[in-house]
Amino acid sequence: MPKVKIAIIDNGVDETRLNYNMKSNICINPNGRCILDNQNLSNMNFMHGTICAAIIQNHFPDSEIYSLRILDENGKGEIECLEPALEWCLESGISVVNLSLGTTHFKDKTGIRKIINHYANQGICIIAATSNSKYVTYPASFSNVLGVAIRDKPYNEMMVKTKLGLDVLSPVEQELVIWGKNIVIQRSNSYATPFVTALVGKLFSEEICHNIVEAKCLLKKYYKEGIELIYESYEPDWICNAQIRNVTKKSKTSYYFNVVKESDKNEYDTIIINDLSSIESVIALNKHIVYLGEQNFEREFGDRFFWSPYKRVQTIKCCCSCSMDMEVPIILCESDNNVDEIFLLTELREAFSEKGYNFYAASLDAESVLYELEYIPIECLRERDIIRNFLSCEIHYKQSDGIMLGIKKGNICKQNELPFEIDVKIQIDKVEIISRLSVMDKDRRLLYKECTDISKMLIKEIADKVTYALTEEEDGE
């Protein structure tokens, strides 16, 4: 039986310290090409990749280990190097990838997610470390990745309750033999990750695991000792190519993924549906499923992702025991039904992002998840304590600078029925072809316009006015 190939994408592996011959040592050159790594690593003080390799070797000695160096000796690197490294893994038939690295910056999220989804849907199983900084980490927090943290970190209890990207809590070896000497390693998420990588490699070697979803399920079944599996919770962020059935697109904003025709049977990884009339035939296609309808549908799948609004409700309610400070501005975007709310939220979020602000943009519409927006079910919004606790944890761990909530008129009858105080209200009333836009803070009108179209330029103007209003007090100080 051929050995399982495991790649360590890190700052390189020094074979001389391990007394182990790597199958390949690769690095990424300045042109983004994968070349043989001839750099002498024996004088490197920060043995990050070498320690990861030693842990995998100890727990899964029958594996073939490959090194791809994309970080420097200080553990820093460029996101652009990740894609050619994973492409090399795909072309080389590597099944499992250890990524004891990541970023917590919100601007990196979209680019990394796109890369990860492409290669995960090609069959590569990626295991990644959660940041030791306590914040949501990319790529560890993505559904298509096994996110790992050390078991006894004091913040893990809160992270587990909030379901923010952790899949596995793992032990970490304290002592390794390198260059014939016993060394004590740092207790960190980086070194808990290769332990889980070794376990996943064993699952692949037994030919009972073939993808990331099966890995998450089988770890729970076969490795109860030593590691702790987190309650299944994920958002539909895994989609690379989707087939959409009976779903009417509500916005001119592009989906975050590619849409394929129903005739392209092998070109998609996910089916998106709006009713359950054809659910059994959809299940038979062995694809991931996003169900946007209101009916409750409960079934466990061990080989694919399944998301529904009901799952989101369960996730939010599971966080009800958590509570943190929520000292950020809250913007309410209230509009008529014929206003493109999703376009408003996505463009406003982008306008704030260009100013360096990370806004948590949410909608009461389940379809919003297809545009990288957060979905807040209306029944959860009406549970004041539950939604406050949930949002306080979300904005803390995602390092959000503010919250934007889009609602349609009639969903919330009065502003004082909301479970939090509003700092700015954006209201759009549409009468025939004319939209009346009003932006108000607590004391004054910031902007009023009558127009036929809510354009990107107008939304940038809104962002300018809101930013000024929210920061002028700080500037005055």
Nearest-angstrom CA–CA distance, 393 and 395: 6
pLDDT of residue 30: 85
**Token pair 């697109």 in the structure block, residue:** 249
Number of Cβ within 10 Å of residue 195's Cβ equals: 25
Contact 134, 155 (CB under 8 A): yes
Contact 145, 139 (CB under 8 A): yes
Number of Cβ within 10 Å of residue 416's Cβ equals: 8
- Report, as an integer, the average pLDDT of 412-440: 83
The pLDDT tens digits for 282-340 are 999 999 999 999 888 877 787 899 999 999 998 888 776 666 777 899 999 999 989 99
**What's the distance, Cα to Cα, between the start and end of the chain in Å?**
69
Nearest-angstrom CA–CA distance, 334 and 439: 10
Nearest to 196 by CA among 176, 175, 216, 221: 216
CA angle, 458 then 463 then 469, to 5°: 130
Structure confidence at residue 477 as a pLDDT band (50, 70, 90): very low
Which of 22-31, 59-68, 142-151, 227-236 has the least mean pLDDT? 227-236
DSSP 31-91: TS-EEE-----TT-S--HHHHHHHHHHHH-TTSEEEEEE-B-TTS-B-GGGHHHHHHHHHH
Structure confidence at residue 45 as a pLDDT band (50, 70, 90): confident
Answering whether pTM is above 0.85, one says yes
User: Quick one: CA torsion of 345, 346, 352, 357, rounded to 10 degrees?
Assistant: 100
Which residues on neighbouring strands pair with residue 169, listed in sequence order? 149, 228
* % of the chain exceeding 70 in pLDDT: 91
Nearest-angstrom CA–CA distance, 296 and 319: 20
Secondary structure (3-state) at 222? helix
**Average of per-residue pLDDT values in the chain:** 88
Nearest to 257 by CA among 280, 282, 286, 290: 290
Nearest to 435 by CA among 404, 458, 403: 458
Contact 443, 399 (CB under 8 A): no
Number of Cβ within 10 Å of residue 148's Cβ equals: 29
**Token pair 């089988």 in the structure block, residue:** 218
The pLDDT tens digits for 174-233 are 677 766 678 778 888 999 999 999 999 999 999 888 899 999 888 877 776 678 887 666
CA 203 to chain centre: 24
Cβ-based burial of 354 (10 A; exposed 0-12, middle 13-18, buried ≥19): exposed
Which of 26-40, 68-82, 166-180 has the least mean pLDDT? 166-180
